[in-house]
Amino acid sequence: MQPTAEQLELIERQLGRKPRGIDAIAYATEQGVPVVLQMRSLIDDKPFPTLYWLCSRELYQRIAEIETAGWVKQIEQELADDAELRQRYLAQQQAYVALRWQLMDPADKVRIEQLGFTDLFHRYGIGGIAQWDKVRCLHMQYAHHLVADNLIGERMDREFGLDQSLAQLRI
């Protein structure tokens, strides 16, 4: 959904700066508070391979605490140890890349090819990561989870209850 003028003001307050490159609001609370933004893949002729951007300051802070506690290393170890889990995660990375191409503005596709960035958009997965068996940026993983199948986000909901606070999000 395209953001309203009021939602754009909310997003600016959430981010602490004027937003650039928003294509749509990918996820909002029932009250209309934007939580996840769908981003353009090219901003001022610069590649931006992050399809989904978490704009909630409150969720950002909670996820930062999870990252600081070292949970990324734990989940990466589980991915290394569990072949089935790793295969599911790799499939989600591929699905993310395919969805980014599917949702990409046609003019951006042409310009990305002209600028020589096509390979980058095939290689970079969730959170702009090239090593798909690693986990980068839980914020982007969770943003992806709110709009698509993402096992990292599912685990964060189960282990940290992030989903329980979505309805009460403040700006």
Residues 6+ apart with CB under 8 A from 93: 125, 126, 129, 132
Report the pLDDT value the prediction gives residue 160, as an integer from 0 to 100: 95
pLDDT digits (tens, 9 = 90+) for 124-169: 999 889 999 899 899 999 999 999 999 999 999 999 999 987 877 7
- Run of H or E residues at 144: helix 138-145
| pTM for this prediction | 0.93
> In the chain, which stretches have pLDDT less than 70?
170-171
Domain-wise residue ranges, the chain: 5-168
Report the pLDDT value the prediction gives residue 149, as an integer from 0 to 100: 94
